[in-house]
Structure 1
């Protein structure tokens, strides 16, 4: 029998490692390390373990738990899970020491195979009754976006061989992958899980409302991928298509938020005060993300985001640490796979907000030629420490019966 809670513990373990690597990276520029490390190699490790270890394992475990756990597929799913762990451990043991090279590329490629395996497994085995739901439609599309995002990694090998890593196509391949991972797979999967939650409590969208939401969001995700290419200085058509995609995504989100707001009394009756508060936070973060995305479709701001990397880094962390990770926390808490407390939630949000303010402040300083405050890098490193502390609190509280706010 598979213990999904243990799988979630594994995913949180990866998140903790990624967060500690983030602290290491920010400490690296403040004080000398006692052992030699390659900064760029650690960046690769940090990003891969955060995306593929924490979020991927947490989301796929949730999907199995909610849709497949009663189908008697434990052994088949177990093979997929452990094969995925082999890939992740391989990346952990190769990226810090060689960056993108033979072994890390092999394990990254095997991970893509694992994600295809899970996608086929999920789509094939979801019960027919659930296949007719709006939630399944969203989740199936999210999984296909994940599969589609792998075009980026597959293209990187030929690009490096033929054009070299300095080619704009190399960076475009990375941005293509990140766009469809973040917006297509992770965010849309979270939306699918929210619709599943609503449907389980008989809070149903009308067919026409769902149709408008679904197509606006799906087409918007595809078109907004053009925003990832605006830094190359393309023609006006790219700005128009990217802007249209951002508008469509925003329209889809506003439809969903309005639907939830109209049914807020029913939501409050099904959620604890903490859970409802977390859901509101995720909604605000996601709406802010969509507005920033729309802003980046304007030529001036597209150029600004391309030339000042702190804005790009801040936006990516806003999406990953804010929208996606807090969204995952909500579902794990609701389905009793972790235990969030006021203290762990507050600690995490403080670390997130504090570091985001500092990152965007540095971008604003570069833009407006403001001076940086003394000790900026040290403050950023200190703020980063709050996030692994919060994750440790979640792990500890989720695996003990100790009562209290911690």
Structure 2
């Protein structure tokens, strides 16, 4: 069985991501004892692997894997080993950035990742194909498998002394695309549709399948949208336009699906609904912005304004991916209703909006305040900390 309290370990990694992010924001006010670049690497690796991966592991196994298969597949052992390895990832990247120990721990993580994907696909092979939510999740896992090949290409390129070249940067952007636009996003969308399967079973599945195929077919070409700032972007423009058109068409299908939802959703938790609605808003904004990036005036902002890039990444990773995962933590009872979770939700959401607004207005050269950015980041730290202190539902 999946122990609900294990979610606290995932939230701890989320806390570390928020703490490191706040530390990086405050770097101009005091000397950071660890290297700045090392912390940047620790921030991203802990965010992707420590927080998003582990909480997705818990949620999708809780929903789709029976207790018998959980035991047979040794999912409990998988999760515990993954936590140990990820502790090594956090410490090694913080201390040395890319080096011997961080590469060893990252490799061990990938081995455990392969084990998990293999077991999950095997244990859900006989699940009804009519569950469209599972189709999204399986597609996400396949994209995840493909993404694991890219670090090897990045490593070889780096070993040849090509750091900083367009080839190296292109591989980095492609890897990130496969991570947060690929397997993370597809799994999160699958979890959203699982929510509909449970609470709004009458939704027209035709639009869902249209949406699935439009987004799936657009995914590989959409890599071009991440590379429009390169010198060879003219050769990618056709693929970028193709992806943008398909994604916007998919978004229209998604909005038609949302239109069928009742205004007042049924849910086991009102906080689950709050984060679900925030996910919907963030997802629509994310796809719209990504589609518009095909226009020169937009991709120039996207590639040459660091604050715009950070705002988009946070829109994707916090507003879209993390908020949907938190919604499921409440839905499954991993987080209960208490003073801690209510306060934590207010702090996390407030901090998210503050940082997004400051990053966006700063990128547009309208208004920027480092103090407000630090305050927003600190609010998110406090919010996640409140979640960790909160009792598990039913305790």
Q: Could you tell me the TM-score, scaled by structure 1's length?
A: 0.90
- Among 79, 86, 97, which residue is 1:99 paired with? 97
Matched with 1:309 is 306
- Kept in 1, the 8 Å contact 2:49–2:86? The answer is yes
1: CA distance, partners of 2:70 / 2:280: 34
Matched with 1:8 is 7
Render the CA deviation track for 1:104-157: whole Å, top value 9, x for unaligned.
Answer: 112112212221111111000126233442122111001011111122212111
Matched with 2:34 is 37
Render the CA deviation track for 1:278-303: whole Å, top value 9, x for unaligned.
Answer: 22221111111111111211123212
2: CA distance, partners of 1:9 / 1:254: 37
Residues 1:108 and 2:106 aligned together: yes
- Kept in 1, the 8 Å contact 2:355–2:373? The answer is yes
- Kept in 2, the 8 Å contact 1:22–1:46? The answer is yes
Change over 3 Å in CA distance of 1:387–1:255 after alignment to 2:
same
Residues 1:48 and 2:45 aligned together: yes
- Superposed CA RMSD in Å reads 2.1
Residues 1:357 and 2:357 aligned together: yes
2: CA distance, partners of 1:61 / 1:221: 26
2: CA distance, partners of 1:151 / 1:174: 12
- Among 171, 174, 182, which residue is 1:173 paired with? 171
Matched with 1:197 is 195
Matched with 1:182 is 180
- Kept in 1, the 8 Å contact 2:336–2:393? The answer is no
- Kept in 1, the 8 Å contact 2:10–2:55? The answer is yes
2: CA distance, partners of 1:286 / 1:208: 20
- Kept in 2, the 8 Å contact 1:68–1:126? The answer is yes
Note the 1:252-401 alignment, pairs <5 A.
252-264=250-262, 268-270=265-267, 272-339=269-336, 341-365=341-365, 376-399=369-392
Structure 1 residue matching 2:228: 3-state secondary structure: helix
Q: CA deviation at 1:205?
A: 4.8
Q: CA deviation at 1:81?
A: 1.4
Aligned residue pairs total: 391
- Among 210, 213, 221, which residue is 1:223 paired with? 221
Change over 3 Å in CA distance of 1:263–1:202 after alignment to 2:
closer
Render the CA deviation track for 1:49-85: whole Å, top value 9, x for unaligned.
Answer: 1111111000111111111142343361123212322
Matched with 2:232 is 234
- Among 149, 152, 170, which residue is 2:150 paired with? 152
Q: CA deviation at 1:18?
A: 1.0
Structure 2 residue matching 1:164: 3-state secondary structure: coil
Change over 3 Å in CA distance of 1:77–1:103 after alignment to 2:
same
Q: Which runs of 5+ in 1 are unaligned?
A: none
1: CA distance, partners of 2:199 / 2:304: 47
Q: CA deviation at 1:183?
A: 1.3
Q: CA deviation at 1:249?
A: 2.2
2: CA distance, partners of 1:21 / 1:350: 19
- Kept in 2, the 8 Å contact 1:29–1:377? The answer is no
Q: Which runs of 5+ in 2 are unaligned?
A: none
2: CA distance, partners of 1:152 / 1:333: 34
Render the CA deviation track for 1:78-110: whole Å, top value 9, x for unaligned.
Answer: 232123223211112211111111111121122
Residues 1:64 and 2:61 aligned together: yes
Note the 1:75-90 alignment, pairs <5 A.
76-90=74-88
Q: CA deviation at 1:31?
A: 2.6
Structure 2 residue matching 1:232: 3-state secondary structure: coil
Render the CA deviation track for 1:327-374: whole Å, top value 9, x for unaligned.
Answer: 111111111111364432221111001111111222111xxxx6x66x
